[in-house]
Structures are given as structure tokens and as C-alpha cells.
Structure 1
Amino acid sequence: MVLMETPSCNFGEKAFKFNLTDTNGKEWSLTDFTGGNGTLIMFICNHCPYVKAIQRRLVVDVLKLIDVGIKSVAIMSNDPDDHPEDSLENMQKVATKFNYPFPYLWDQSQEVAKAYDARCTPDFFGYNSSLELQYRGRLDDSGMKTLSNTNNHDLLKAMINVANTGKGPKHQIPSIGCSIKWKNDI
């Protein structure tokens, strides 16, 4: 496992268009996640212990964000040949097991991850209603702990602020996680 950290938020960077299929075969595009108070695009996977540790908390936080008009989507860009746990079949199982309240999309070509410059899983991109990047930080302060008794709900607080003001916090702590598993990566 290669540990990676997200870069600083490039405030105002526009979201990139995409068309991807979810775990049920339905096609989604960026426009399906616009029109509310903001958009949260999450690069996650199934195998990474950092993602596994946050899955339940992520679902709870996304449900709270839905209440303030934030639309959310998760994208899995890893090469399943490198990590079979990240296969489409296993994506379906994980989405069902955790009752994801957001579409879980497969970036089979990895073009979307490259366009967004996604570095790790989890990697969070929080946009305002104009699709301008306002948050690129961590979920919370728990790291790889699966406990839910965190005091700093960074992503939740940031995206509620984005929903209310259109602006993200100036101070953001990077997300850390497993590197994206690129095809033909040596």
C-alpha cells in the first residue's frame, strides 16, 4: 500500500464533465449532480483500509449533506486487475452492504481520475453550486480508526458552509489514503 496525500485545494477550479456507469448499469453525468447547493465528488475504492475505516461515517455524513442540498457521487478508478477487490462485482456488494445513498460509478478508463488529478482513496472534491472547487480535504480526524467518536467532521462542516455561503474553509487538512492503482503502473 502506497500512502498518498491530497494536494491543497485549488479554489475555483471547475468540475470536469464525465459520463460513467454505476454498479447497476445506469449511466450518470456531472449534470446529474448539479442544481443543488453544491456537489461532492468522492474517489473511493473497496480494498483500501483508509476507505474501509470511514465507510459508515461517510454514509452518515452524506445523508446529512443531502439535507442541506449537496448532491454526492462516488467514483472508483482503480485497476481491478491490480486489486480484484475493486472489481465491479465487489463494488456492487460494497454499495449494497453499506446502503450507499449516492451512485457508485466505475471509471474503467481512469480518464475521470486523471482529469480531476485524484491522488488517493479517499479523495474528496467539494464544489459550490457553480461547480467551483471549494474543498479538497479529509473526511474527519479519525484516520484509519473505524470509531465514530470524532470531534472534527471536516468534510461535513466544510460542505455545509459551501451549501450556505458558496465558499469552503481556507484552512483544510489533506485527505490521506491508498494511491490510485493506475493501469500499467510499475
Structure 2
Amino acid sequence: MTFRSPLRAVLTALFFCSGSALGLAQAPPPDTSAASPTPAPAASAPPAAASASPAPSPTPTPPYNRVAFREVGPAVAGGRVTSVVGVADNPQLYYLGAAGGGVWKTVNGGATWTPVFGKQDVSSIGVIAIDPKNHNVVWVGTGETNPRNDVSWGDGLYKSTDGGKTWKNVGL
């Protein structure tokens, strides 16, 4: 996207940031301080005998139990994952394709991810496949497969024979 004036670029950025900030706002948790108080013992009641085991204390409800799942952001369009693929005999190796963010690879079960498709002219990924006999051979189909309010096109099928270090457009 190109902008003809710096002011238009700044206003566009502010528009998207303000929408994201509104999506992050949360409702305050309900007030639990108005719980009914425990009545005080009567003055004429004899003191209770010491019990061998203390009375169980109520378990507090974790605050995150009150938070409902919600979609955040304008139409939840950015950062969509379109394809994830791994191999059965190596549970640490995965490739992930994003709707507009290229291909990412992990070799440690997802602890860290490395972009491996950044030098191509297209970053919209539709599908990824790994050769089950040779894990260095990876195919990537470009172009988003999820029609939404911002769909990106691709430019064919890419193949890597070195685990994602280099890619060649093989057509289609």
C-alpha cells in the first residue's frame, strides 16, 4: 500500500491502532466484596472445643475463570495461520504458513520459530507439505485459501530441497 502524503499514512496507522486498543479493553471483574458477612457468635455461647482438624478454607476462584474468550482486532484478519504441518517421526519439526506472513519453521517443537520464506515476492501461504521420506523436501502452495475481507493471491507452487533455506517456483 502506498500513501501520497505522510499525514494520510499517520492517520491510517492511528485508525488501526485505535481499533486494536478498543479490542483489548476488558470489563472490570465483578465486585465480590459485598458477600454476606459471617455472623459473630453470641456472647452467651460457650467457647468451642478445639478441633483435631481445621475447617477447610474455601478455594478462591482464579480471576481468569471469569474472562470469556473473545476475538480481538479488526475482523480478526491479521496473523491468521493457514497451514501447519509436521512429521510423525520427528515431533520437533513443524512448518507453519500464514495468510500474509510467509512460512515459519521450528526444530524444537515450537519453542522458537524462524521465518524461511522471506525472500520470495509473495507472502500469502495456502498450504504446506513435507515429503514423508525426505524431510528436507518441502512444498508450499502460495495464495490464501480462506476467503475473507482481505484475501491475498499467490504465484504458484514453491519447492525447497534443503529444509527451507532456498526455494524455487515450480509453477502451477
TM-score relative to the length of structure 2: 0.25
Point out the structure with max Rg over C-alpha: 2
Higher relative contact order (CA 8 A, sep 6+): 1
Compare the two structures and name the one with the higher helix fraction: 1
TM-score relative to the length of structure 1: 0.23
